A and B are shown apart, each in its own frame.
Chain A
Amino acid sequence: MELKRVVVTGLGALTPIGNNIEEYWDALVAGKSGGAPITYFDTEKFKTKFACELKNFDPLDFFDRKEVRRLDRFAQYAIVASDEAIKDSGINLDTVDKYRVGVIWGAGIGGLETFQNEVINFATGDGTPRFNPFFIPKMIADIAPGNISIRHGFMGANYTTVSACASAANAMIDALNNIRLGHSDIIVSGGSEAAVTMAGMGGFNAMHALSTQNDNPETASRPFDATRDGFVLGEGSGALILEEYEHAKARGAKIYAEVLGGGLSSDAYHMTAPHPEGNGVVAVMENCLRNAEMKPEDVDAINTHGTSTPLGDVAELKAISKVFGEHAKTININSTKSMTGHLLGAAGAIEAISAILSMKHGIVPPTINHEHKDENIDPELNLTLNKAQKRDVKVVMSNTFGFGGHNACVLFKKYDE
């Protein structure tokens, strides 16, 4: 059986540096930082007091009051970004075969704020379990694609992939394979996360995963810089419409890129620490190249996982050097997390969008906030430091790695008529 070709026909984004695709891309190219003091709760007792929150996002611009109460923020973000992507794709919702449209979504955690608030409510009560009937359906990670399908009537495959910070990449790979095998014509994919909450910040702080540079919220996310001290938590959503090539052609859709392949692997090493030699990361990039039937020399740019953690950044670059050899020095490597912070389960989606738009515009967004060279990093690698670089990107790779040792990697190719 011949595999179908899969292309990207729509994009949507709700990020800490831009609330739609156009704003997001402009901010990426400009090297804008999304870091700022947390506004959602009192951070006085928290070790980290800043994050990359969404700016000027009012759910009432998108939902009525009742819907807002029934949707955790991670689900609101999912709906907003996917609505933009669906509109962008030009799919005719009246004529499309909705049994062949699915939603495969990524969320690393899900409704953390809902969980937190319900448990606080219970714990401060008299022990009577007066949980809100919306507690579970608001909180579960699969409710985001559930709500997207309810909103549009999409009756194909519908679920969430959960692999921490690799979740959205896992979702896109499942979407790719689902369409490749002929099960669906269109999959709404992507990811969303809303973990900037007391439980999220406190939990990641306890792991020593977050930057604590409270005096420099804008420059704290500094992947590959010698003074990096942890990731900066972000929130938001990215959505991509994956579509079977002939289906897209037949309806005259605009095509952003072709999804060439995906790779998966596991570190099988530690719950949270990356393997020091990046063995799983080497494997995932090799698996991805093989799946896409591409050679290392074909790759022009890599959107790294690059979270700004001391161990992870070095391990990933070592792995890139190992997989790509001498060619690694000619690749535009960047970390958009330097601007957006780390969107956890949504990271793979907004980073894939950045990678795809790099090909469309011929520009690779920068890794901002870089001042100090890390001597553990090969100085010959082009990390696209501080300023965007012009580059005719034809093939781009997007890496994501999640706590638990989950690695997922996606390869996109520029679409030529």
Chain B
Amino acid sequence: MPPNQNLNKSIMSDIASRVKAIIVDKLGVDENEVVNEASFTNDLGADSLDTVELIMEFEKEFDIQIPDDQAENIATVGQAISYIEDAKK
């Protein structure tokens, strides 16, 4: 495996763990619950304000802008991770 792919992989897993840490902190949920398929509102107890706060924390942590119309499509842990991975490519 070429070295740059290795580096890429570690950046990706770093994004996932940072996203999960933010979710654990803001939603006060157990780390084990924060799986890729978990929906913020249906599984992790987030309400509309929590969801806005999460998006803002992602923007701050990863220094990106997530427009409102795209934020609406980020409903699960996995969707948040892949959106941020794409944004950071």
Query: A130–B49 contact, CB under 8 A?
Result: no
Query: A130–B28 contact, CB under 8 A?
Result: no
Q: With an 8 A cutoff between CB atoms, is B35 at the interface?
A: no
Query: A134–B27 contact, CB under 8 A?
Result: no
Contact with B along A371-389 (1 / 0, CB 8 A): 0000000000000000000
User: Smallest CB–CB gap between A100 and chain B, Å?
Assistant: 28
Query: B27–A66 contact, CB under 8 A?
Result: yes
Query: A133–B28 contact, CB under 8 A?
Result: no
Interface majority SS (helix, strand, loop, mixed), chain B: helix
Q: With an 8 A cutoff between CB atoms, is A361 at the interface?
A: no
Query: B28–A64 contact, CB under 8 A?
Result: yes
In the docked arrangement, what's the CA distance between A269 and B89, Å?
A: 66
Query: B56–A133 contact, CB under 8 A?
Result: yes
With both beta carbons as reference points, the residue of chain A lying nearest to B55 in the complex is identified as A133
Query: A130–B56 contact, CB under 8 A?
Result: yes
Query: A134–B53 contact, CB under 8 A?
Result: yes
Query: B56–A66 contact, CB under 8 A?
Result: no
How many chain B residues touch A (CB < 8 A): the figure is 10
Considering the complex, which residues of chain A in the window 56-113 have a beta carbon less than 8 Å from any beta carbon of chain B?
64-67, 69
Query: A69–B56 contact, CB under 8 A?
Result: no
Query: A133–B27 contact, CB under 8 A?
Result: no
Contact with A along B1-38 (1 / 0, CB 8 A): 00000000000000000000000001110000000000
Query: A130–B60 contact, CB under 8 A?
Result: yes
Chain B residues closer than 8 Å to A66, beta-carbon distance: 26-28, 45
Considering the complex, which residues of chain A in the window 110-141 have a beta carbon less than 8 Å from any beta carbon of chain B?
130, 132-134, 137
In the docked arrangement, what's the CA distance between A132 and B57, Å?
A: 9
Considering the complex, which residues of chain B in the window 48-62 have a beta carbon less than 8 Å from any beta carbon of chain A?
49, 52-53, 56, 59-60
In the docked arrangement, what's the CA distance between A137 and B49, Å?
A: 10
Query: B60–A133 contact, CB under 8 A?
Result: no
Using CB atoms and an 8 Å cutoff, list the residues of chain A in contact with chain B. 64-67, 69, 130, 132-134, 137
6 A-B pairs (CB sep. < 8 Å)? A64-B28, A66-B26, A130-B56, A132-B53, A133-B56, A137-B49
